[in-house]
Amino acid sequence: MVVTGMKQMWIGGARVNAIGGRTRQVINPTTGAVLATVPEADADDVRAAVGAARQAFDGGEWRRLTHRDRGQILFRVAEGIRGRAAELAETDSRNMGKPIVEAEFDVTDAAHCFEYYGGLATKIHGETLNVPDNAMSIVVREPVGVVGQIIPWNYPLLMAAWKLGPALAAGCTCVLKPAEQTPLSALILAEILSEAGIPAGVVNIVTGDGPVAGAALVEDPRVDKVAFTGGVDTGRLVMAGAARTVKRTTLELGGKNPNIVFADADFEAAVDGALFGAFANQGEVCSAGSRLLVERTIYPRMLDALAAKVTRIRLGDPMDRETKMGPLVTEEHMQKVLDYIDVGRREGHRVITGGGRATAGALRSGFFVEPTIFADVPPGSRIGQEEIFGPVLAAMPFDTEEDAIRIANDTPYGLAGAVWTRDVFRGVRVLQQIRAGILWLNTYHSTYNEAPWGGYKQSGFGRELGPYGLDAYLEMKQININLNEAPLAWY
């Protein structure tokens, strides 16, 4: 059963309300009705959570456990997620609007993420270096300390797993702030973590907004590292706040990602890839293929095929297993996306499908936007450059391989992208020249816990997932051992 009613934060191993007594209503975007009520944390609540994490790191047992013991606890977290899989999937689906089938994949991936880092916890190792002296130099890796983690609303449970899994494997303690719109599955996860054996104070979850709770977390001098996933504008604020105390920082920000289709591609696969790349999770994906670059010789055929096949994307209640696209997360975000569609029209771009709010029947009460495709979009236009974060695809033709690469890179972002071609040599050649951190050939959106996730340019810096994500929560220390028995006698 999905979480409902009044919920509490998780600080120091206990459920707590906000110190000031403030609350926030969490809205079901399918109906516009109140789904639950959560505490609205302010700076005092964040200070309490950071204090609990600081105490747990400095004086607690977590970082002193053996790597094997920490790993076994993470395995139990994975099993706890599987044991409550239906509840977690339904919670994210109702809270965020994600189709239930996609939410179920997220729950599975979240369990796998904790399991992956449970195994990796025992693989943290140091080095012994040969130095030009009668000495031994040892490099050891230690947990960075207390980490503040701020996650977005588009993958509520999965982003929590991406952040907490490697941090806990490293031996860090955490204060996690889920997005204020979608805090519910993170609060369920707190119970799972506690039941798996995570000691009190090691993970603290505060519910509040970015300007108040998020800013307090970033600026608290007792926090050693900040990991943020979200928009580039907020990312700049996080960087500035973290700089005041020179915190370690990783940022995974936005994208305006190119999906490039050459004339020799498997045409039907490329059509599916274009639609899935743009409209999965309602297009609310930082790595969405929101710019479709199509070789000019097949461009008209591609537009016709997209317009015909987009009709198969069924909008509806995300709890219906036949639904392919649910509502956008909030009314405010829906209006932002509709405003961008109006911008595209004012710029004179041709709408070949969609273009407005979906209001037929039961959709009327929710925040639904039609899957929208603009054709002949100039690469330098606003909808060709700015991240919309919704179901809006900008299609544009190209003539040559060099032209495709130039357009693909002509953006301040560099998160993701894809190439569709039967010519593997050309595919790899083009991928090597795209300045982005996550790339696919003849597919889109596949993500693996073993591989690094992150971007170039204004898409952020640092990496999550894989051993690279674990490294982000570790410090390196050198220890030099003098092997000379004679005194130094420097003076």
In the set 172, 219, 286, 295, the catalytic residue is 286
Residue 139 has pLDDT above 90, yes or no: yes
Strand 135-143, strand 127-129: pairing:
antiparallel
Which pLDDT does position 298 carry in this prediction? 98
Which pLDDT does position 235 carry in this prediction? 97
Which pLDDT does position 489 carry in this prediction? 79
CA distance 169 to 69: 10
The answer to whether 188 and 140 have CB atoms below 8 angstroms apart is no
For residue 366, list its beta bridge partners.
none
For the chain, residues classed under CATH 3.40.605.10 are 5-253+459-477
The answer to whether 413 and 391 have CB atoms below 8 angstroms apart is no
E strand or H helix at 135:
strand 135-143
| In the block, residue with structure tokens 């607690």 | 60
| Neighbouring residues of 176: CB distance < 8 A, sequence distance ≥ 6 | 149, 151, 160, 163, 164, 186, 203, 204, 205, 206
Which pLDDT does position 5 carry in this prediction? 83
Amino acid at 254: G
CA distance 179 to 104: 20
Which pLDDT does position 247 carry in this prediction? 97
Q: Considering the chain, what percentage of its residues have pLDDT values greater than 90?
A: 97
Residue 269 has pLDDT above 60, yes or no: yes
Q: Considering the chain, what percentage of its residues have pLDDT values greater than 70?
A: 99
3-state SS assignment for residue 61: coil
Which pLDDT does position 490 carry in this prediction? 80
Torsion region of 354: left, alpha or beta (phi above 0 gives left; psi -120 to 50 gives alpha): left
Which pLDDT does position 284 carry in this prediction? 98
Domain boundaries 258-441, CATH class = alpha beta
DSSP notation for 193-204: HHHHTPPTTTEE
For the beta sheet containing 225-229, the strands, ordered from the edge strand earlier in sequence to the opposite edge, are 14-16, 9-11, 203-205, 173-177, 146-150, 225-229, 248-252, 460-461
For range 14-42, the mean pLDDT: 97
Which tens digit of pLDDT belongs to each residue from 212-238? Answer: 999 999 999 999 999 999 999 999 999
CA distance 417 to 424: 16
* Residue 172 known to be catalytic: no
Confidence of residue 121 (pLDDT cuts 50, 70, 90): very high
CA distance 446 to 424: 19
Confidence of residue 167 (pLDDT cuts 50, 70, 90): very high
Three-state SS letters, 423-452: CHHHHHHHHHHCCCCEEEECCCCCCCCCCC
For range 33-52, the mean pLDDT: 98
CATH architecture type of domain 5-253+459-477: 3-Layer(aba) Sandwich (3.40)
CA distance 286 to 105: 18
Confidence of residue 4 (pLDDT cuts 50, 70, 90): low
Which tens digit of pLDDT belongs to each residue from 364-385? Answer: 999 999 999 999 999 999 999 9
E strand or H helix at 375:
strand 372-375
In the set 102, 252, 370, 387, the catalytic residue is 252
The answer to whether 231 and 253 have CB atoms below 8 angstroms apart is yes
For range 296-323, the mean pLDDT: 98
* Residue 386 known to be catalytic: no
CA distance 199 to 173: 10
CA distance 38 to 351: 40
> Which of 332, 15, 53, 40 lies closest to 213 in space, CA to CA?
40
For range 449-476, the mean pLDDT: 98
Which tens digit of pLDDT belongs to each residue from 336-374? Answer: 999 999 999 999 999 999 999 999 999 999 999 999 999
- This prediction has a pTM of 0.96
> Which of 218, 203, 133 lies closest to 161 in space, CA to CA?
203
Strand 460-461, strand 248-252: pairing:
antiparallel
For the chain, residues classed under CATH 3.40.309.10 are 258-441
For residue 441, list its beta bridge partners.
419
For residue 229, list its beta bridge partners.
252
Residue 2 has pLDDT above 80, yes or no: no
For residue 460, list its beta bridge partners.
252
The answer to whether 291 and 258 have CB atoms below 8 angstroms apart is yes
Residue 1 has pLDDT above 60, yes or no: no
Confidence of residue 444 (pLDDT cuts 50, 70, 90): very high
Strand 146-150, strand 225-229: pairing:
parallel
Residue 152 has pLDDT above 60, yes or no: yes
Buried b (16+ CB within 10 A) or exposed e, 224-240: bbbbbbbbbebbebbbe
3-state SS assignment for residue 388: coil
For range 402-423, the mean pLDDT: 98
DSSP notation for 225-281: EEEEES-HHHHHHHHHHHHTTT-EEEEE-----EEEE-TTS-HHHHHHHHHHHHHGG
Rounded to the nearest integer, the mean pLDDT of the chain is 97
Start-to-end C-alpha separation, the chain? 75
| In the block, residue with structure tokens 């012994």 | 128
- Based on its alpha-carbon atoms, the radius of gyration of the chain, rounded to whole angstroms, reads 24
